[in-house]
A and B are shown apart, each in its own frame.
Chain A
Amino acid sequence: MKFSEETLMAYADGELDAETRAAIERRMAADPDIARRVAQHLMLARRIGAAFDPVLREAVPDRLKDAAAGSADARAAAAAGTGTVVDLSKLRAAKVARPARTWFWPQWSAIAASLVVGVLAGRMVLPDRPPAQMGADGDGIVARGALERALSTQLASTQAGNAPIRIGVSFLSKSGAYCRTFVLANGLAGLGCRAGSDWHLEAVARAPTGTQSAGAYRMASDEMPTAVMREVEQRIAGSALNAREEEAALRKAWRR
């Protein structure tokens, strides 16, 4: 089956029925060119959205608030006791911002699984000094402390929205090891793969600037730097674990 550019675009926008979607996903798995084109649509969509999102955080000029309040009477009424109501509705507006296009890992991983991209080794940005959650062993950097605990015991499906370490996606690598992505509260993100009883950190990079602020967590997929995504793309075998598979893997202590 041939897919037009418009169909691939509609796939990226989440506009297709389940059947066509599945057909495209099968093609993506078989044809890296299709996967690449879909990824291109997704990335462009994200770039355009991201370019205008900062407007949401700007202070709304008074003249516009006044316009919404209407007459002077209504303004007075609004000022006299409904101050919090406006704040609440603002929050609501922020929450419904771009409702249709939140990209979750499974969709990305379908693409990641089939993307054939040239990954240059050593491209990821390592911090000057490994943070406390990481330590060096004979052949690389391993997770320690809270990060080690999170990778071993935290489920993406049940973790708290404000967990200090957020687990992104878990998957089986081509070499048969479980791997998991994570984002730390300080903005570092990375990929850890199970090696014996350790988690080897295969990639660590700083999440895109400007999105990190205390308490303001976005979707893990949003925060995942390209360098980490590339490592995921290179390693993943099949698709990401779903919640049930993730839990089963945890129960087996991430051993096969």
Chain B
Amino acid sequence: MSNAIESIRRDIAGLLPRLRRFARAVTRNAADADDLVQAAVERALLHTGQWEPGTRLDSWIFRIMKNAWIDELRKRSRHSQLFAAEEEGEQVGVSHTEQQIDAMAVRKALAQLSDDQRLAVSLVLVEGLAYKEAAEVLEIPIGTLTSRLARGRETLQAILSGGDMTREART
């Protein structure tokens, strides 16, 4: 096995925490998220030749994840399987910090966006990609990216501003 591939493997292993974070934001539930990461990592390693050294490895894998997730959604809608977002079942009975409560509200709000908007928000606000990088990952023009991002944020703000008031009042 060549050193180049070995080094890509190592880099991918190092990216796993971020890939999982991105997947969690995009798929809305933890099980789907790790399945998506696994599928994308396997696909990436089968096609390492398609990655151009010198470009961002994370962006390349995000793109693979995006394509895999869109395929998955199509498959699911063909089989008319409806997957509701997991309603934070794993959290029941645990005491929460204010931060965790807020995180739950954010995840719920994000789950209400369209898939396109959620992808844009996840890349820019969760993963911190620049608009140009995010547009490249999604293979859309930058103008489309910014309008999806703006609309997604508007919805999030509307959903979350109620919670914001409560937070203020408690301070």
A residues contacting B by CB (< 8 A) are: 5-6, 9-10, 13, 15, 40-41, 44-45, 47-58, 60-61, 63-65, 67-70, 73-74, 77-78, 82, 85-86, 88-94, 96-101, 123, 208-211, 226-227
Contact = CB atoms under 8 A, between A and B. Distances in A.
Contact of A99 (B25, B128, B150): B128
Nearest to B152: A48
Q: Sort A-B residue pairs by CB-CB distance and give the 3 closest, nearest first.
A: A89-B14, A98-B128, A51-B106
A63 B38 contact: yes
Interface string B112-135: 000000000100111111110000
Contacts, number: 148
B24 A65 contact: no
Name which of B6, B11, B110, B171 has the most chain A CB atoms within 10 A of its CB.
Answer: B171
A100 B157 contact: no
Nearest to B19: A64
A89 B10 contact: yes
Nearest to A99: B128
Nearest to B124: A13
Given A64-B41, A68-B9, A69-B13, A47 B102 contact: yes
Interface residues of B, number: 52
B45 A70 contact: yes
B92 interface: no
Q: A interface, by DSSP: helix, strand, loop or mixed?
A: helix
B41 A68 contact: yes
A13 B131 contact: yes
Contacts of A64: 16, 20, 34, 37-38, 41
Contacts of A53: 21
A99 to B, nearest CB: 6
Name which of A5, A44, A52, A91 has the most chain B CB atoms within 10 A of its CB.
Answer: A52
A13 B128 CA distance: 9
A45 to B, nearest CB: 5
Interface of B: 1, 6, 9-18, 20-21, 24-25, 34, 37-38, 41-42, 45, 58, 97-100, 102-104, 106-107, 110, 121, 124-131, 146-147, 149-150, 153-154, 156-157, 160, 171
B24 A68 contact: no
A93 B14 contact: yes
A249 B168 CA distance: 35
A90 B9 contact: no
Contacts of B106: 47-48, 50-51
B24 A55 contact: yes
Contacts of A101: 125, 128
A61 B160 CA distance: 32
A86 B160 contact: no
Contact of A97 (B18, B37, B45): B18
B150 to A, nearest CB: 5
Contacts of A48: 106, 110, 121, 125-126, 156
